[in-house]
Amino acid sequence: MLDEPQLLAALRRHWEYSGKDEDRAHEIYHENAVLEFPQSGERFEGVANFREWRRQYPAELAFHLRRISHRDDLVVTEYLISYDRAPWMFTVSIMELEGDRVAHERIYIMDGWEPAPWRAPWRAEARADPAPPPP
């Protein structure tokens, strides 16, 4: 099992190379890892399968990490993604680890929205996340 600094370094490396060098980006996965997109119902079994379609991806991808949370064998990464310089979309990746590699990942992607005015009396001041670079 990787210690916390090693795990965070491996995850940052994954996001740094995602969309640029899929061999390096996919070093964090077990060979028999599973990747799911619950919103589309897609399930990919085996890192070779999803690494290959990611190589063929027909858009330029940009990522902006917001937060990585880790507990035992579970990692949750919150980030923004942009496709072909389009507006940023909010994304959550839930990774289950087996030893020092990712065995199962679920990715959720969605558009942001304006806050509802009626909730203003109960809302705390928003925490300022660093602004992402332009996509």
When pLDDT is averaged across residues 89-111 and rounded to a whole number, the result is 96
When pLDDT is averaged across residues 85-95 and rounded to a whole number, the result is 95
pTM given for the model: 0.88
Report the pLDDT value the prediction gives residue 3, as an integer from 0 to 100: 83
Is the pLDDT score of 123 beyond 90?
no
d(CA 75, CA 11): 9
Report the pLDDT value the prediction gives residue 115, as an integer from 0 to 100: 84
Per residue, what are the HEC states of 81-125? EEECCCCCEEEEEEEEEECCEEEEEEEEEECCCCCCHHHHHHCCC
pLDDT tens-digit map of 16-59: 999 999 999 999 999 999 999 999 999 999 999 999 999 999 99
Q: Which fold has domain 4-111?
A: Nuclear Transport Factor 2; Chain: A, (3.10.450)
Report the pLDDT value the prediction gives residue 48, as an integer from 0 to 100: 95
Domain residue ranges in the chain:
4-111
